[in-house]
Structure 1
Amino acid sequence: MRRAILATVLAISSSGAFSTGALAQNLTVATGAPPTSVDPHFYNAAPNFALSMHIFDRLVERDAEVTPYPGLAESWEAVSPTIWEFKLRQGVTWHDGRPFTAEDVAFSVARPPLVPNSPASFSPFVRAIQRTEIVDAHTVRFHTARPHPLLPVELGSIAIVAKHAVEGRGTEDFNALRAAIGTGPYRITGATPGDRFELARNDAWHGPRQPWERVTYRIIANDTSRVSALLAGDVDVIDQVPSTDLVRLRRDNRVAIAEVQGLRLIFIAPDRSRRGNLPFVTDNDGRPLEKNPFDDVRVRRALNISVNRDALVERVMEGAAAPAGQWMPAGTTTHAPDVPVPTFDMEAARRLLAEAGFPDGFRMTLFTPNDRYPNDARTAQAVAQMWSRIGVRTAVEAVPWTSYSARAARQEFPIRLAGWGSSTGEAGSVLISVIGTFDRAAQRGAANSARYSNPELDALTDRAATLLRLEDRAAVLRQAIKLATDDVAMIPLFNISNSWATRRGLVHEPRMDERTVAMGTRPAP
């Protein structure tokens, strides 16, 4: 069943905007967050995923409302409680003309856990698979240890790569384009890291014919520069429209705005990887603390309730977000209605700090990216001011995303601002990848660089994954949300509203998962 969403597309008349020759020509997209690799299994981050969607396909795809639909698999069914059978699309070829087969699928689902130095691995999406059986060239069976009803949804995150092009090669070969051979709607023809990627239409693609012969996928991290490029006609589509410009751009007849409530939560992650003193955390005289203050739930609760989320949404995000007390936004199937947005209470926060042994607070540095999420550094500065008012004197260090992501994965930050989009549309994504106990062998906690751990929470997550009925699974996931919230596994701030702007004569389909793809842009009818 398709999820009802808030989606507004403010399109304007395309009269005179396109000539006949322009309809099948080029599109230039400007994204605010840089993909860090062409390897589709290297980093489970929205910018990387968005780029890979142009080049690679998945067995199961997800539409703009994150509803699954057939991709490289024409159909799938559970032929037994622990066996999923997938029938593959026939006649599909790789960009080099070789045929796509079940061998490529088996290779692709085995690869994510083997990719070295991944900041956030895709391995949680294949962790249930114990064995892949190739029945014939266009049939595969995935064997699991126990019933796993979410496997088709999870495989919607696994790009299928060409075994003949990738075997024996690594991420650097994708970045050099030697291994970047997919079955997707576009072939990659050039890459300048941190600046742009060049794509050419794959006329042999099995999906609907794309209107753009060539796509230039540019990275323009600066908000003002991105908007200026659109208004100057240098680019056709931009994402992450700055909240400060939304009202003005809605009135500008040169552009159209597309918006939708997103699935991404912006949150704060306190480090739990060390029991002793943390870097960048001291007492008020600058001396290292003997213990990690974030191990005390009273400290985490104090920080949680001293954040004025309404003020963040109103003053920092300028209405382009919704205050959050959990990671699933209202209206999604596993949103927990009994978990409210925390009540802002600075006096209660000071009492909790005193009870935890910090009557005078302490000092720390909050780290944040400055070019990844809308208003990320501004949000961190606002939160730091709120915490300083309760005695936790907080400095902010803003870091470019390419450096920030690698440093976060190495646990270099004592506390950091982060974001996560639950692209499966269910609460399990965060439970498995972000706050599940880090366990490389069990392929759990791949994005849990804070190293939060709660065995009771892990048990609920595992139980939910075996339940066939959505209603039963949702009930257990809501229990897990409540448990994680009570323990302050993370400090949720708000769910972002996603927005795009296009030049006149184009329409763009807004995606709840915030991925910016050329396939979502069409000439206006």
Structure 2
Amino acid sequence: MKTRHLVSMGLAFALSAGTAQAVTLRVANQGDAQSMDPHSLNESLQLTFTGNVYEPLVARDKELGLTPGLATRWTQPKPTVWRFELRRGVKFHDGTPFTADDVVFSFNRAAGAGSDMQGYTNTFKEVRKLDDHTIEVETLTPFPILPDVLTQVYVMSRKWCEENKALTPVDRRKGIENAASFEANGTGPFRLKERRPGSRTVLVRHAAYWDKVEGNVTEVVFTPIGNAATRVAALLSGEVDVIEPVPLQDVERIKASPKLKVMQGPELRTIFLGMDQKRDELLFSNVKGKNPFKDKRVRQAFYQAIDIETIKSRVMRGAALPMALMVGPGIRGFSPDQNKRLPYDPEASKRLLAEAGYPSGFEVALNCPNDRYVNDADICQAVAANLARVGVKVNLQTETKVTYFPKILRRDTSFYLLGWTPSTYDAHNALSALMASPTDKGQGQFNLGAYSNAKVDELTLRIQSETDQARRNAMIREAFEAHAADIGHLPLHQQSLAWAMKKTVTLVQLADNFMPYKWVTLSEKAK
């Protein structure tokens, strides 16, 4: 395991002006950020963590609205051109000035080989510098939600990447690492002090940060604690200040503590199952010579075999909203009246399997993480048990996300669990990333089973360019109808957030599950 201790990089670690004393926030999560490279993995834990170090041109406020970040203003001089005026006087943590060259470099890096962020840039035709503090992004077609898309594309220093041989992102599929895996040099309110993958990562406040920081935290010690009981014990004993997520079975126990509190709320993430619909023969099944998932009857049989209400009540303890769509409430384009699941019906599932030529069912492997989503392994166990009742033998393979994500991103899977929060809070993101046919430009980058429907593809492109919201919503609705009629994926539920902390901690819980440390305050007494 590599350990990097990052010292000054030209600037001494210091407390921000006006801070009287050091304030350390200790955070525990069920998993770790897999890399410090902000373009290497499109996963919310990694993006929220590195988002304390790196910044986008367009940021989000406490209500998830758009707000200036490294760009102070953006305009649209042409339907396919967005112009961004960059913030002046900003410096990277090593003291290098932030300029348009860094933005052009970062956007091209995010669009390049090995990047997991190509879905954010696949609409780009060109990124060009007008002067040191102005850039333009020209898109292939009109793209009215481009500012929303850029909120999670972080800017890196071109000079630092060149000097540290980190010109391309860390490719999680191939396990190739570079300096950006373990070191960082952003413009954000915190800088990386220490990185021990899987063990501990330490951030400290950047004394020369360009903006005012609302919170009083000067150091963050982030510790991955995969075992749920151990994570809760660390909070109860006072070893950590915040844990996320809270094991659902421990919510009431933590609430009962006079020194602790639980924050719960809706999350924008939808949990679903995907199936390999491309290969002529599944990699991990006893069915030879054909792929049962290419048959809609098999996909529907799996769907109707899943007892979603029991998963909601027993596995999720009520902290889930069953979904029939790949997006849920809070996402632009979601229509509540479309959220009607096919009925749970094991007998119908058996009939469908028999009609498809599998009267005795078949075997298939299900890949699942055990430290990424709320009760993810338990969800997969419940699904496996449901499918067993209709004759399908599921060979369940659960593992840490450190090995899980590289595997499924290589499409080395037949049947998998994934969660998705559209970063734009717009349905187009889910259509483009999850449901549109995969291309080498980033479309369908997380459509890991290669589901393909020409109508969905056509509508996704039209939605991308449509500026009239009513017409756009109608097209989104039509695309979701086509996907649902195909049983393209198996939506499960929208999970809920549960964070626990000491009562002395004040923070902002966002529905995208991001936790900006600049908004965290620790007080001596509980409020």
Contact 1:39 1:175 in 2 (8 A): yes
Question: Which residue number in structure 1 is paired with residue 252 of structure 2?
Answer: 247
The residue number in structure 2 matching 1:321 is 320
In structure 2, C-alpha distance between the alignment counterparts of 1:272 and 1:139, rounded to whole Å? 44
Q: CA deviation at 1:206?
A: 2.2
- Selected match of 2:24 from 1, 7, 26: 26
**Residue 269 of structure 1 aligns to which amino acid in structure 2?**
G
Cα pair 1:27 1:214 within 8 Å, conserved: yes
Is 1:74 aligned with 2:87?
A: no
Query: Take 2:78 and 2:199, find their aligned partners in 1: how far apart are those partners?
Result: 48
Match of 2:44? 46
Q: Is the 8 A contact 1:306 1:349 kept in 2?
A: yes
- Which of these residues, 275, 279, 283, is aligned with residue 279 of structure 1? 283
Q: 1:165 aligns with which of 160, 169, 181?
A: 160
Structure 2 unaligned blocks of 5 or more: 1-17, 171-177
Q: Distance in 2 between matches of 1:398 and 1:33?
A: 14
Q: 1:468, CA displacement in angstroms? A: 1.4
Q: Please state whether the residue corresponding to 2:52 is helix, strand or coil.
A: helix
Match of 2:59 in 1: 61
Letter in 2 for 1:183: T
User: Contact 2:285–2:363 (CA<8 Å) still a contact in 1?
Assistant: yes
Preserved contact between residue 30 and residue 226 of structure 1 (Cα < 8 Å): yes
| Aligned partner of residue 434 in structure 1, secondary structure | helix
Aligned to 1:125: 120
Q: CA deviation at 1:309?
A: 1.0
SS in 2 for 1:281: coil
Contact 2:268 2:331 in 1 (8 A): no
Whether 1:258 aligns to 2:275 is: no
Deviations 1:108-133 (A, max 9, x none): 111113242x5xx1111112221122
- CA drift of 1:328 comes to 1.8
- The corresponding residue for 1:341 is 341
Aligned 8 A contact 1:239 1:516 in 2: no
Distance 1:502 1:211 in 2: 16
Q: Per the alignment, do residues 154 and 331 of structure 1 end up closer, same or farther by CA in structure 2, a change over 3 Å counting?
A: closer
CA distance in 1, matches of 2:330, 2:368: 29
Alignment RMSD (CA, Å): 1.8
Matches within 5 A, 1:194-343: 194-209=198-213, 210-276=215-281, 278-282=282-286, 288-336=287-335, 337-343=337-343
Q: Deviations over 1:377-409 (max 9, x none)?
A: 111010111111111122312111111111112
The answer as to whether partners of 1:57 and 1:182 remain within 8 angstroms in 2 is yes
| TM-score with structure 1 setting the length | 0.91
Moved more, 206-215 or 225-234: 206-215
Q: Percent identity, aligned pairs only? A: 33
Q: Which residue of 1 aligns with 2:96?
A: 98
What SS does the corresponding residue of 2:193 show, helix, strand or coil? strand
Which residue is 1:420 aligned to?
420
Aligned residues: 494
**Matched position secondary structure for 2:514:** coil
Q: Does structure 1 retain, via aligned residues, the 8 Å contact 2:149–2:423? A: no
> What is the rounded CA distance, in whole Å, between the counterparts of 1:123 and 1:401 in structure 2?
21
- Separation (CA, whole Å) in 1 of partners of 2:492 and 2:21: 42
- CA distance in 1 between counterparts of 2:424 and 2:330 reads 14
Distance 1:114 1:490, change over 3 A: same
Q: Distance in 2 between matches of 1:274 and 1:37?
A: 31
Measure the CA separation in 1 of the matches of 2:63 and 2:69.
16
Q: 1:231 to 1:21 in 2, by over 3 A?
A: farther
How far apart, in 2, do the equivalents of 1:207 and 1:21 lie? 15
Q: Is the 8 A contact 1:23 1:523 kept in 2?
A: no
Partners of 2:217 and 2:522 within 8 A in 1: no
Could you say which residue in structure 2 is the equivalent of 1:450? Answer: 449
Equivalent residue letter for 1:274: R
Rounded to whole Å, the distance in 2 between the matches of 1:312 and 1:302 is: 17
What SS class does the counterpart of residue 111 from structure 2 fall into?
helix
Q: Distance in 2 between matches of 1:363 and 1:83?
A: 51
SS in 2 for 1:298: helix
Secondary structure of the corresponding residue to residue 51 of structure 2: helix
- Post-superposition CA distance 1:466-523 (Å, at most 9, x none): 0113333222112211211111111011111011111121122111111233234223
Matched, 1:151 2:146: yes
Greater displacement, 134-143 / 375-384? 134-143
In 2, the alpha carbon distance for the partners of 1:162 and 1:152 equals 21
Contact 1:255 1:501 (C-alpha < 8 Å) held by counterparts:
yes
> Does structure 1 residue 399 correspond to structure 2 residue 399?
yes
Cα distance change on mapping 1:192 and 1:401 into 2, 3 Å: same
- d(CA) in 2 for partners of 1:206, 1:475: 43
TM-score, scaled to structure 2: 0.90
Deviation track 1:292-325 (CA, whole Å, cap 9, x = no partner) reads 0000011001111111111101000101111111
AA matched with 2:33 = P
| Residue identity opposite 1:137 in structure 2 | D
Structure 2: distance between partners of 1:164 and 1:65? 34
User: Structure 1: which 5+ runs fail to align?
Assistant: 1-19, 283-287
Q: Given that residues 66 and 424 in structure 1 are in contact (C-alpha distance below 8 angstroms), is that contact kept between their aligned partners in structure 2?
A: no
Q: 2:191 aligns with which of 187, 207, 214?
A: 187
Instruction: Report the equivalent of 1:411.
Output: 411
In the alignment, is the contact (CA less than 8 A) between 2:323 and 2:493 conserved in 1? yes
